[in-house]
Amino acid sequence: MKIGFIGLGIMGKPMAKNLLKAEYQLVVHDINPSPVKELATAGAEAASSAKEVAQKADVVITMLPNSPHVKEVVMGPNGVLEGGKPGMIIMDMSSIAPLAAKEVAAKAAEKGIDMLDAPVSGGEPKAIDGTLSIMVGGNKEVFEKCKGLLSKMGTSIVLCGDIGAGNVTKLANQIIVALNIAAMSEALVLGAKAGVNPETIFKAIRGGLAGSTVLEAKTPMVLSGNFKPGFRIELHIKDLANAIDTAHEVGVPLPLTSQAMEIMQTLKVDGKAGNDHSGIVQFYENLAKIEVRK
C-alpha cells in the first residue's frame, strides 16, 4: 500500500515520519519545500502537487490548517480528485468544519473515491511519539481497511459515526481542552497572587479530581514560561470558530466556549496568536498583574 501525505507542518511532518518508520511507501507534498526535502532524505518520494500525490497513492492523507485549505487541495485545480482513481481512499486528518468534510466526501464519492474524516488530538509531542487520539468519521468497512495505518500514528482510534462525526468529536474535544486550560490558568494565577507557590498547587492537585491530561501537559509549560507552540492559539481559535458555527447550525448555545474564544482573541490582538494555547495563562496574568512561574 502506497501512502500519500499532503501537509507537513507541526503535526503532519512527525506523523509522516512515523509512517516511514513503519516502512510504508510514502509520497509527500507541501507548499513549503523544506519539510518535503527532509522527508525525501528520510526515504519518502517528493511530489510537485496534490494531483501527483493522488496519481501515485492508494491512500491520500491530508493534514491542513482549515476547511478552505482542504477543499482547495482536494477539489481545486491540480488537486487530489484530479489525480485520484476509483477505489482510492482520502483520509483527511485536519480539523475542519463537519459540513466541509461532508461536502468534500460527496465530491470524492462522485469519482468512486471513499473518504474518512479523522482529526487528531495530542499536539506535537504525541504526533512525534505516535500516540495521538484519532477520531474517525466514515464508512465502517473503509475504517477497518485504514485502522492499521492509523495505528502507526495514534493509540486511541475510535470510529465515531458517519462522515463528519470525526470532526464533531474533535470540536467537542477542543471545547474541553480550551476550557481546561482556561480553568487551570485561572486557578494558578489565583494561587500565585494569594502567595502560594503555583508549582506546589500543581503537585497537590494533580492526583485528585482536578488532575487531567491538560494539567499534566500544560502546567510545566506555564511554570517555565515556555509557550513554544505544540498547538498554536490561532489554530485553537479556528477550531472554536468551527465549534460555535456548528453549534449554532444545530441549535446549541456555547456560552463558556464563547468566553474562551474571546480570551484567545484578546491574546491574538496582543500579538500572541503564535503561542502555544497554554499561553492562555497570559490573559489572566495581565488581569492580575502577576506571572505564574516556578
Q: Looking at the annotation, which residues are catalytic?
A: 170
Choose among 120, 145, 91: nearest CA to 14: 120
249's grid cell? 447550525
Count CB-CB contacts under 10 A for residue 212: 18
Handedness of CA 45, 151, 113, 245 (dihedral sign): negative
Q: What DSSP line would sit under 75-119, residue for residue?
A: HSTT-HHHH--TT-EEEE-S---HHHHHHHHHHHHHTT-EEEE--
Instruction: Please name the amino acid found at residue 171.
Output: L
174 backbone dihedrals φ, ψ, rounded to 5°: -70, -30
Taking each helix axis as running N to C, give the angle between helix 165-193 and helix 233-250, from 0 to 180 degrees, rounded to the nearest 10: 120
Residue that is written with C-alpha cell 465502517 in the block: 140
Count of all residues that appear for the chain in the document: 294
Decide: helix, strand or coil at residue 58. Answer: coil
25's grid cell? 511507501
DSSP class of residue 270? T
* 3-state helix vs strand vs coil in the chain, percent to 5: 55, 15, 30
